Structure 1
Amino acid sequence: MTHVLAAAVLLAALFPAQADGPSVRPPAFAGTFYPDDPAALAAEIDRSLDAAGAPGDEPAGRIVGLIAPHAGYVYSGRTAAAAYARVRGRKIAAVVIVAPSHRADFEGLAVWPEGGFRTPLGVARVDAVLAKAIAKASGARYRPEAFAEEHAVEVQVPFVQRALPGAAIVPLVMGRQTGATVRGLAAALAKTCLDKDVLVVASTDLSHYLPKAQARRTDAATAALIEGLKSETLIRKAEAGENVMCGGGPVAALLLYARKAGQARVRIAARTDSSSFGGPVVGYLAAAVYAAAPGATDGPGAFLDAADKAALLSLARAAVAEFLATGAEIEDRTGRAGLAEPRGAFVTLTRKGELRGCIGFIAPVLPLGRAVIRAAIYAATEDPRFPRVEPDELDGLRFEISVLTPAREIDDPRTVVVGTHGLIVEKDGRSGVLLPQVAVDEGWDRTAFLGQVCLKAGLPPDAWRRGARLSVFEAVVFHE
């Protein structure tokens, strides 16, 4: 009874009864999670934004969302700033902040429908029209208990106030992170926000209270899922309560929304953790989520010019020649910026039009120049389908390079476009990959392409119909 009364007193103190609804929510965490002095708070956020600097190479399209942590600023403020720096000063009318519920247990979504959120920097106005539209489309309800002790929305608001002055907010708290709630929110955002200058912020930390080495392995795997747009995997992990991130539902909803907005891409801006403070570790990640119009290119074609492509082909051939002669791996000494960006890449070797070797990296684990060097060596010496290339064969080989965009998981195989998409299939610990040009070269339609990638993985040809995970990627392909 005492606990219930205390909760009632807190709600009454934070949200006194008013004739005009919820009105303005006062700050609950100023002085603990962030400074309660206005000048000190503004100065801290501005220093962090300045330290993050302006973004470098960006994908095509507009930023439709951010992923930002919500710990105390001493722990994750600089990481959060790396996300907000991507949109600092841009024309944004409203910011939809989606946070997980850490205290209240409920189904669905809670919305703060009107009024505002007060911080030491002033009142951030709630866009009541947009809040009402999202609530109607998603089934969200006003639940004051969801906001009473919830820090995950509040700590984002001062960053919005400094990075995007004048932007309104729509605060949302997600209760139980079910697939239905996540997909419903993504559909609601698509219905209400796509034609507006709206930014969606998914508020989340990564793994919680793991030993440092385990935390970093777990967080790296989660970052790869986010960058790969693997929303369905994130939903499954959120529903299972896996210790990968507290806001998996909000993040998955943002990724699904971005895919509805166009060709979605994620750029990780920062990934840190609390290990420098001692004790078990909490992880933090900042990212920007982009959506480009269909047909737009973001990565390979956006930053590789003709000289970059020529340099990569030269590196691939030189790498194989040197390795066959001395067993040494050459370095990328071109100094070209486009080759320093981490990218997935494959090198394909052919002789008189027949395949002689093909190996590469799907994930952007290496700078592009080094990835091509290593893939070329592996294609010449490690492809299990062919004997090792001999030095006297080198002059007769043609080198082809495929530079890949990040893979993204898909739900509907009908979205696969032959000639545009490469395929990855995964099931029961098996996986297979086929590059986009393979389907064109072999004359396959979509169904044949899907069946062949399953066979490549050692799976039945209809595994794509029976629960296998499918991901697609695109490639810029060029050859000698």
Structure 2
Amino acid sequence: MNENVRYPAVAESFYPSDREELDTFLESILSESTATNNSEKASIRALLVPHAGYAFSGRASAEAYSRLAGNQYRTVFILGNAHAYRFNGIALDTHHIWQSPLGRIPINMDAAEQFRTAAPRLIDYLDIAHHSDHVLEVQLPFLQKTLKTGFSILPILFGENAKDISLKTARILSDILQPDDLLIASSDLSHYPSYDDANAIDRKTLDAIVNIDMKGLERHVRNTMKQNVAHEDALFCGPDGLKTLLRIATQRGWTAEELAYCNSGDAEWRDRDAVVGYGSVAFYEPQ
């Protein structure tokens, strides 16, 4: 019998595959967050969060997800750039359920079809793109641990696209997003510079994101790459999801707050010669 379920691809390698172990780990790092219970958390409309193994980026993610504790959303739209399979366009998944060690989450298939039919030459179902990719999957346990039950998700993976893809995607999603939906952009920051270089580069990246300054962000990327910083391959690995989020935030007058930053050099192994940066940002709708 085909249950139409997408099962975890990176449990154990990116996060614990045992339900109890995963639940205990999340409980611990979420309890360490600096989040406070206040009325602002109810206005959170989007997050930028990393997607590395929890040992590296879990605490940066926890600072963001802890702000959602007890909140209720209809659908969580999770955006990321594909890391495991190369393709053109934007990939949806035909499975009706995504499973993590903490349980199952339904896909909002109505929203998926509405998204696909808005640009059928660009957006289509491509299960193989999602099959072994981690950038969306690693967000599920955090969502299950913090949100009230009853939400659905819509996983959206970007492949190879024109530079203006975020503009088109933002226009489509703006017509679909409801007041009780949540938007998540999954992206790590600097890739492989030294510890100190990553700190300096990522500081400017996060400043541009918090200021919702698309032009400033793109200028920072160009200027940094011209400097030929040793081993800096990319300032962020989820450009299309991040830029789509920034465009929607601009359209809707959202504000943003940086919640956490670290890089892999801060992890237990403290290898600081070549690091990856991790930041989390919350986006708020004015009350």
Can you give the 5+ residue segments of structure 1 that lack an aligned partner in the other structure? 1-15, 294-480
C-alpha displacement at 1:49, in angstroms? 1.5
Matched, 1:248 2:231: no
> Kindly tell me: are residues 185 and 72 of structure 1, through their superposed partners in 2, closer, same or farther at Cα, counting changes over 3 Å?
same
In structure 2, C-alpha distance between the alignment counterparts of 1:48 and 1:217, rounded to whole Å: 26
Q: Say whether the 8 Å CA contact 2:190–2:276 is kept in structure 1.
A: yes
The alignment status of 1:153 with 2:153, answered yes or no, reads: no
Specify whether residues 150 and 233 from structure 1 end up closer, same or farther in structure 2 by C-alpha distance, changes over 3 A only: farther
Identity of aligned residues (%): 30
* 2:286 paired residue among 267, 277, 292: 292
Distance in 1 between residues matched to 2:195 and 2:207, nearest whole Å? 18
Q: Does 1:222 align with 2:225?
A: no
CA contact (8 A) 1:138 1:184 kept: no
Other structure's SS at 2:86 match:
coil
CA distance in 2, matches of 1:51, 1:182: 34
Point out the more displaced range, 85-94 or 32-41.
85-94
* SS of residue matched to 2:182: strand
1:26 maps to 7
Q: CA deviation at 1:56?
A: 7.2
Report 1:116-195 matches (<5 A).
Answer: 116-139=97-120, 140-166=123-149, 167-176=151-160, 178-193=162-177, 195=178
1:238-297 deviation per Cα after TM superposition (whole angstroms, max 9, x unaligned): 9x9961010122111111112222x2211000011111321411100011011227xxxx
Task: Give the secondary structure class of the aligned counterpart of 2:276.
Answer: strand
Amino acid at match of 2:234: N
Q: 1:160 to 1:291 in 2, by over 3 A?
A: same
Counterparts of 1:2-41 in structure 2, within 5 Å, are 23-41=4-22
Name the SS of the counterpart of 1:117 in structure 2.
strand
Max radius of gyration: which structure? Answer: 1
Unmatched tracts of structure 2, length 5 or more = 226-231
Say if 2:245 is the partner of 1:264. Answer: no
RMSD, aligned α-carbons? 2.5
Does residue 46 in structure 1 map to residue 27 in structure 2? Answer: yes
Are the aligned partners of 2:71 and 2:148 in contact in 1 as well (CA < 8 Å)? Answer: no
Distance 1:231 1:56, change over 3 A: farther
Task: Report the Cα distance in structure 2 between the residues aligned to 1:203 and 1:53, rounded to whole angstroms.
Answer: 21
> What are the residue-to-residue correspondences of 1:242-391 with 2, within 5 Å?
243-261=234-252, 263-276=253-266, 277=269, 278=271, 279-292=273-286
Give me the whole-angstrom Cα distance separating, in 2, the residues matched to 1:287 and 1:149.
Answer: 26
Equivalent in the alignment of 1:205: 188
Deviations 1:177-216 (A, max 9, x none): 54332111111111001x3411011001000111111111
- 1:116 deviates by 1.3
1 CA distance for matches of 2:113 and 2:75?
13
Counterpart code for 2:158: M
| Residue matched to 1:369 | none
Q: State the alpha-carbon separation in 2 of the partners of residues 269 and 159 from structure 1.
A: 16
The TM-score, its normalising length taken from structure 1, stands at: 0.53
Q: Is the 8 A contact 1:137 1:191 kept in 2?
A: no
**In the aligned structure 1, how far is the partner of 2:39 from the partner of 2:204?**
23
Residues 246, 58 of structure 1: alpha-carbon distance in 2 compared, 3 angstrom cutoff:
farther
- Partner of 2:68, secondary structure, is coil
Per the alignment, residue 229 of structure 2 pairs with none
Q: Which letter maps to 1:288?
A: A
CA shift, 1:53, in A, is 4.0
Decide whether the 8 Å contact of 1:138 with 1:185 is kept in 2. Answer: no
2:84 aligns with 103
The question of whether the paired residues in 2 share the 8 Å contact of 1:98 and 1:250 is answered with yes
CA displacement at 1:233 relative to structure 2 = 4.7
Counterparts of 1:378-457 in structure 2 under 5 Å?
A: none
- What is the distance in 2 between the residues matched to 1:43 and 1:37? 10
> Residues 428-465 of structure 1: CA distance to partner in whole angstroms, max 9, x if unpaired?
xxxxxxxxxxxxxxxxxxxxxxxxxxxxxxxxxxxxxx
Structure 2 CA distance for aligned equivalents of residues 128 and 158 of structure 1: 21
With over 3 angstroms needed to count, the CA separation of the structure-2 counterparts of 1:64 and 1:178, relative to structure 1, is farther
Matched AA of 1:206: L
Deviation of residue 60 (structure 1)? 9.8
Kindly tell me the number of residue pairs found equivalent between the two proteins: 271
- In structure 2, what residue type is equivalent to 1:149? S
Conserved? CA contact 1:61–1:292, under 8 Å: no
Other structure's SS at 2:175 match? helix
Deviation digits for residues 76-119 of structure 1, max 9, x if unmatched?
A: 11110111111111121111110111122222211124411111
Question: Among residues 69, 72, 78, which one is paired with 2:59 in the alignment?
Answer: 78
CA contact (8 A) 1:234 1:248 kept: no
CA distance in 2, matches of 1:138, 1:113: 17
The separation in 2 between residues aligned to 1:41 and 1:60, in whole angstroms, is: 25
Q: Secondary structure at the match of 1:286?
A: strand
